[in-house]
Chain A
Amino acid sequence: AQTVTQSQPEMSVQEAETVTLSCTYDTSESDYYLFWYKQPPSRQMILVIRQEAYKQQNATENRFSVNFQKAAKSFSLKISDSQLGDAAMYFCAYRSENTGANSKLTFGKGITLSVRP
C-alpha cells in the first residue's frame, strides 16, 4: 500500500518570502500522480499543482512549483512571494496510475501554513 508522509505539522512564513513544504511517499509503482491540495479555513479543498511521475520536468503554476525527486520519493512544494491568502492547510496526495478509473487519492496528514504580515 502507498503511504504519504508530511512530517512538518506547521510552518510559518513572512509575507513576500518563499517557503518550502516537504512530502515523502512510499510506493513500489513506477507510474503515478502526485498532487498538492490546499484547504483554506472555509474547508473547500483546491488543487494547487500536480506532477506526473513519468515527467522529469518539475511542475510549475505561477508562484507554486514542486521539486520532484523520484528516486528519493520526495515531492516538495515551493511557494514564492507568499501572500496572506496562502494561509491554509496543505495536503500532499498520491494517486496510482494502476487504479484505472478509481480516483482514490492517498493523502498525507497535512501541514498548516501561516503567513505573517
Chain B
Amino acid sequence: ETGVTQSPTHLIKTRGQQVTLRCSSQSGHNTVSWYQQALGQGPQFIFQYYREEENGRGNFPPRFSGLQFPNYSSELNVNALELDDSALYLCASSLGLAGVRTGELFFGEGSRLTVL
C-alpha cells in the first residue's frame, strides 16, 4: 500500500512568485487536506478536498488555492508569495468522511518552501 507522497520535498522561491505543490494520497483515500506548518509552530489547516470539491477552508487568503483530480491526487497553489509563506506544507489523506471524522489522517512528509 503506497503512503502519501508529496513533491517537491524542498524548494526556494522569491517574493511575488507562484508555487505549486503536489500530493498523491494513500491508495483508496478520496479526501485530502492541506496544512501549513511554520517553524516552531503546529500545523494550520488550509483547506480540504473531497471528491474533487473544496469542502472546508481555514483562515488563508484566496491566493492559496487547490485542486483535486479524479485519481484523488491534489495540488496546492500559492500566488504572489510572501516571506511569511515560508513553511512546511503538509498534505494528509483519509479514507472517506468516516476517516475525516475520527481524525485518521495519513500525512505526507511535507514540502519545505522557503521564500526569499
User: Given the complex, which residues of B lie within 8 Å of A28, measured CB to CB?
Assistant: none
For residue B104, which residue of chain A has the nearest CB?
A47
B92 interface residue (CB < 8 Å to A)? yes
- Residues from 81 to 116 in B contacting A, C-beta threshold 8 Å: 88, 90, 92, 94, 97, 100-105, 107-110
The contact of B42 among A43, A47, A108, by CB within 8 Å, is A108
In this complex, the interface size class of chain A, counting residues with CB under 8 Å from chain B, is 20 to 34
A75 to B45, CA, bound (A): 21
Stretch at the interface among B14-22, B48-56, B63-71, B72-80: B48-56
Q: Does residue A21 face the partner (Cβ distance < 8 Å to B)?
A: no
Task: List 4 additional A-B contacts (Cβ < 8 Å) besides A35-B103, A43-B109, A107-B42.
Answer: A47-B105, A101-B55, A101-B101, A110-B42
